[in-house]
């Protein structure tokens, strides 16, 4: 009868160490991803906020340009006259004023 003893395959020990390194590398990458994911989300959120604020700034600059243009237009004598006529219902000397009587019942038509 022959005795057989099991001896470890030298190749399996060699590859076992490599697999251990691969496993360690995989765990390291997973840990790094877990730590960096919240930071990445904060960066994306900050970039979105920055884009929103830049759009709001652009809109406000356009609005400011319109207001300045309107201000310059109304600062002229013709602009002052226009505001007086439209907003305050003023008339210039020599203008003819027409006054209409509105019917008391809105359904009634003349």
pLDDT digits (tens, 9 = 90+) for 45-85: 999 999 999 999 999 999 999 999 999 998 999 999 998 98
Residue 54 CB neighbour total at 10 angstroms: 10
Whether 72 is in a domain gets the answer: yes
Whether 78 is in a domain gets the answer: yes
Q: The tokens of 28 are what?
A: 């390291």
**Could you give the count of Cα atoms lying within 13 Å of 40 in the half-sphere of its Cβ?**
6
pLDDT at 20: 86
Asked if 73 and 79 touch (Cβ cutoff 8 Å), the reply is yes
Whether 95 is in a domain gets the answer: no
Q: Which residue range is the domain that position 49 belongs to?
A: 15-87
Whether 67 is in a domain gets the answer: yes
pTM (predicted TM-score): 0.52
Domain count, the chain: 1
Whether 56 is in a domain gets the answer: yes
Whether 50 is in a domain gets the answer: yes
């Amino acid at each position: 009868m022959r005795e057989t003893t099991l001896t470890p395959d030298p190749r399996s020990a060699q590859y076992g160490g490599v697999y251990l390194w691969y496993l360690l590398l995989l765990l390291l990458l997973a840990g790094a991803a877990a730590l960096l994911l919240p930071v990445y989300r904060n960066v994306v959120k900050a970039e979105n906020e920055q884009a929103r604020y830049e759009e709001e700034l652009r809109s406000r600059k356009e609005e400011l340009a319109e207001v300045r243009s309107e201000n310059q237009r109304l600062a002229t004598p013709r602009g002052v006259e226009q505001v007086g006529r439209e907003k305050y219902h003023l008339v210039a000397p020599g203008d003819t004023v027409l006054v209409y009587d509105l019917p008391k019942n809105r359904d009634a038509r003349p």
